[in-house]
Every structure is written in structure tokens, then in C-alpha cells.
Structure 1
């Protein structure tokens, strides 16, 4: 039976897909079979035909094992996309698919839509949130944050929300990190100190994102041994 990690962010357009791709490529380099599971996808890619995240993983990152479940064209929150398209999002179906994937792969990286406080559907007179699924199915989470101004507030409030909802956060990844920027360096130091969580990686902005660039960073990331705690959680030998 494989293990699953939930990839979430401090908001939308944080770079979860970039970070998830790097994780997947790094795990593949370590000889681990990995699947990227994006259960709820909304919005189309620039070609107007493919779904945005599926296009990213298959055409840009060129990963071999990518799956989804709910695909909805409106580029809005899952609960609204479901309403507009007459779709019924059933968390149990997502959980069943996840269990099947865990039977086939060593690690399943589950990418959420937006952050933890994103509603999927209404059930029993209340909203069923992304955090509910993560908690109900005991998925440890990795928090992807931007590195610049505002990162402290967004990371701290997201982590606080995760704690109140019973979501276990393993650590953080800081995206769009520029070593030359003092605020970026200080944000990483401050956030990890405040939350008492490790920073698994600081991912730079890529001028042009290609599989080759992602692979190169994944290899360097492994060599720097920044994610030793994560590999231990996943029982991966480096």
C-alpha cells in the first residue's frame, strides 16, 4: 500500500502544480513509483480544449502517471463549477479512487484546488470543505507558499486554519524564491520559526518552465538533502 500526500497552498496561483511536478520528478529519480492525482479540476488551458492542470502535467512537466476525476470547464471554485455544470462532487468517490491509486503506486501526490478553505459541496446543511476531505481521510499536507510580501500572513493563517480543522501539515515549500531578496530570505526564516515547521524546498522562478528545468531543479534538490524529513515520512531512501 502506497502513501498519499496532499499538496495545498496559501491561495490560488501559488504554484502548486510546479511544486508537485518537482516532487514527482524527484521521487521518480529516487526509484519511487509516483502518481499525481488532481481529483477536482476547473478551467481550461490556453488551447481552450484541455483542462489546465491536466495540460500542465502532461504537456509541460510530461509526467507519465496523472489522473483526475471531476473535470468542469468554468474557471471558478469547485462548488460553483459543480453548480454551473450540474455536477455532484462526492468525496467518497474521490477517496475510492485514491485508494485504488495507493494500491498501484508508492506515493500519490494529491493536488487540491486552491487552498484548504475551499468548498466542494453542501452536505447535511453545511459546506464540505477541502480541509474536511484531508482530515477525514488522514492525508498529511504540504503547504506551498509564495516567498514575497504577504507570505507571512498567508502562511500563518493557513497553518492556523489547518490546525483548527485537524489537518496535519508536514512542512512548507516556498515558491518564486529569490535568494537576492532580503524579504524572501527573512520570510522563510520567520515563517518556519513561527510555525515550527521545516522548509522542504525554496523553488526559484523559472524564466521558461520546461520538464528539463524541473528535472534539473529536482536533481539539485535531492543533492542538497533539504527534504530529508519528507523522505523519512515517505520511507524513501536517498
Structure 2
């Protein structure tokens, strides 16, 4: 796996922190890592975006690339139209990822919100870029009530497009999970047809970069260069 698409089942669910954790774990395992943010929205000129945040947490050895930026926190197509700026198409995303893959062991492409958020006027999405790249997609999902439906729908969208889903990571696992969150741990793989590959603690992004890098492998399963075990985690949080 050289290129991995990271998509949320929605927005504000911990996708950037999960991307940083994967980058940190892969770097700790000796892999060279690049993160690509095709479209950054809701961030002004000169302000750090998601790619910069991944690099801050995962380490300066990580290459961070942002293709386009729009000031309003909207879907990229809408934000571009309102700002009078050019959109980014799947071919541009695929070209940038391929270029990065030539010099890195792992390229993480972080989407904008959910899988089917529109990137351009033609309605292209992260799924279209994944198809061009032949890259698997990792789903980042919230822990609580409602996540089963959104995760199942996203996994169904992947299968309908002939795309490979790598697995699901819980983007922000609460320190005191409620009943729905605990039940969802067991139910997410069943409803999505994808393995559970990690759970990143809520507030992980506020850790110091050194502490974040040290802990990141313990939040992720071996396919993501970590040591996390779904079975052990489930036994620690019984429903």
C-alpha cells in the first residue's frame, strides 16, 4: 500500500488527527510519509491547515502538501464557487499523489468531510480520485449514536464504486463512553463489512507532539503500522 485515502463519514470527527496518527506510526516503523490535502476549506491565508497540523503532530520528517485553499468552511466545490477560485479535479489529485508516491513509502490523502463531498463543478469526489489511483480507502467514524448508519452508507458507496475499503478507525474515542459507543465497537465491523483498525482517544490532538508520536502506534492496528488489538479493546469496553 503506497497511497491511502482517508475519508470521514462526516465532518469534525477526528479525520486529521487520525491521519497524523497513521503518519506518526508509519514514520516510527521506518517508512517515509507524505500527507496530501487536496482541498483545504475554512482557513485563511497564512493560517496552518490540516496538512500542517498532521506534520506538527507526526513530525517534520513528514512531507505536507496542500493543493488548493478556500476561506469559507464549505464543501470544496461550493467554497471555490463563492470565492471565485478554481476547483481541483480527481486527475489533479491523482497526479499529485502519484508524484509524492515516487519519493515516499506511504502517501496519505486526506479528504474533505465525507466520501461523496463534491470537489468540482462536475460533481467529482474523493471516490473518483481513489478510483484513478487504485487506492484503498480508510473510513474515520465517530463513536456515538448514529455512526452505524453513516458508516454503513459510506461502505456501501465504496462497494458500489468498486473501491476497496481498508477498515474503520474511531476518530475520537471518549474517556467515558456511553452504552451506544460501547455497542458500536462490536457493531461497526458487522454493518460496514470492514474491520475495526483503531480508536484514537478524544483530545489526542492536544497532546504534545512528542507524546502524540509515542502513543500513536498504540491507537492503530498492524495494517496501519500500530500495535492496537480490536479484541483487546472490545474486552476493555464491554457493552
- Shorter chain as denominator, the TM-score bin is 0.7 to 0.9
Where does residue 43 of structure 1 map in the other structure? Answer: 42
Residue 17 (structure 1) aligns with: 16
Report the counterpart of residue 212 of structure 1 in structure 2. Answer: 210
Partner of 2:232: none
CA 1:219–1:230: 2 relative to 1, 3 Å: closer
Partners of 2:213 and 2:198 in 1: how far apart?
A: 14
Separation in 1 of the partners of 2:68 and 2:186? 38
Q: Give yes or no for the alignment of 1:132 onto 2:158.
A: no
Q: TM-score, normalised by structure 2?
A: 0.84
Q: Which runs of 5+ in 1 are unaligned?
A: 233-238
| Aligned equivalent of 1:227 | 221
Q: 2:56, 2:209 within 8 Å by CA — same for their partners in 1? A: no
- 1:150-189, aligned counterparts within 5 Å? 150-178=146-174, 180-181=176-177, 182-189=179-186
Aligned residues, how many?
222
CA contact (8 A) 1:147 1:174 kept: yes
**Contact 1:179 1:185 survives alignment (8 Å):** no
- Correspondence 1:71 to 2:65: no
Check 1:100–1:88 CA distance in 2 against 1; reply closer, same or farther (3 A cut): same
Deviations 1:130-171 (A, max 9, x none): 222212321100000010111111111111122212221110
Matches within 5 A, 1:95-114: 95-114=94-113
Shift in Å, 1:180: 4.2
Structure 2: how far apart are the matches of 1:62 and 1:28?
Answer: 8
Identify which range, 74-83 or 20-29, moves more after superposition: 74-83
Q: Secondary structure at the match of 2:112?
A: coil
Residue matched to 2:50 = 53
- Deviating 4+ runs (over 6 angstroms): none
State the distance in 1 between where 2:99 and 2:13 align.
29
Partner residue of 1:236? Answer: none
Equivalent of residue 144 in structure 1, options 133, 140, 145:
140
RMSD, matched Cα:
2.2
Indicate how the Cα distance of structure 1 residues 63 and 162 shifts in structure 2: closer, same or farther if over 3 A, else same: farther
Q: Structure 1 length as normaliser, TM-score?
A: 0.84
Match of 1:195 in 2: 192
> What SS does structure 1 have at the residue aligned with 2:173?
coil
Deviation at 1:231, TM superposition (A): 5.0
- CA shift, 1:104, in A, is 0.3
Map of 1:235 onto structure 2:
none
Instruction: Give the distance between the partners of 2:107 and 2:27, measured in 1 at CA.
Output: 12
